[in-house]
């Protein structure tokens, strides 16, 4: 069985949203009828995985700005954080299982300096061979960490 190859890009007018089906009606409806409104209003950005061979939309996810109240973080995580009432974050949403484990290889980050690169490596990121300050975290690693934190499935 040959696995599909995807390219990831921002959702745009060239994408056939009406044909998208992921098996969950609410997610289908969001992409088909709401995603462009959310983008236009600058509430979130939507990115799609496009199957290269067919041009078919295979998956999507959204990114939006968020914040986390400092008091909601565990004590051990706030030791080296500024004491602001809230801290900036990015919220990833509508990320289906296929996108998490099959379509995307990794989360990428470009470290500003060697100190930052060392920080990311302590978090499980790995340096790219040709660019040591460009690091990636395999999505499978991220998914395993999420699954461990959630505990056994009921």
CB distance 38 to 62 below 8 Å: yes
Q: Where are the domains of the chain?
A: 105-154
Residues listed for the chain: 154
Q: What is the pLDDT of residue 152?
A: 59
Residues 88-144: tens digit of each pLDDT:
877 767 766 556 555 455 676 778 899 989 988 988 888 887 778 888 777 777 767
- Find how far residue 82's CA is from the centre of its chain: 25
65 has a pLDDT exceeding 70: yes
Locate 47 and state its tokens: 């990115």
Buried b (16+ CB within 10 A) or exposed e, 118-149: eebeeeebeeeeeeeeebbbebeebeeeeeee
Residues 19-33: tens digit of each pLDDT:
999 888 988 999 999
67 to 73, 88, 153, 154: CA distances (angstroms): 11, 4, 29, 30
Q: What is the pLDDT of residue 1?
A: 41
């Amino acid at each position: 069985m040959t696995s599909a190859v995807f390219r990831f890009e921002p959702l745009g007018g060239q994408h056939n949203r009406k044909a998208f089906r992921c098996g969950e009606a609410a997610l289908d409806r969001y992409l088909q009828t709401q995603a462009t409104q959310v983008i236009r209003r600058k509430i979130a950005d939507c990115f799609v995985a496009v199957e290269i061979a067919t041009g078919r939309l295979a998956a999507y996810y959204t990114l939006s700005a968020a914040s986390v109240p400092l008091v909601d973080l565990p004590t051990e995580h706030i030791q080296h954080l500024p004491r602001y009432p809230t801290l900036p974050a990015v919220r990833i949403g509508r990320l289906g299982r296929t996108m998490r484990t099959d379509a995307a290889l990794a989360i990428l980050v470009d470290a500003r300096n060697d100190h930052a690169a060392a920080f990311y490596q302590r978090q499980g990121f790995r340096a790219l061979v040709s660019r040591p300050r460009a690091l990636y975290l395999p999505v499978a690693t991220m998914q395993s960490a999420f699954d461990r934190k959630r505990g056994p499935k009921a």
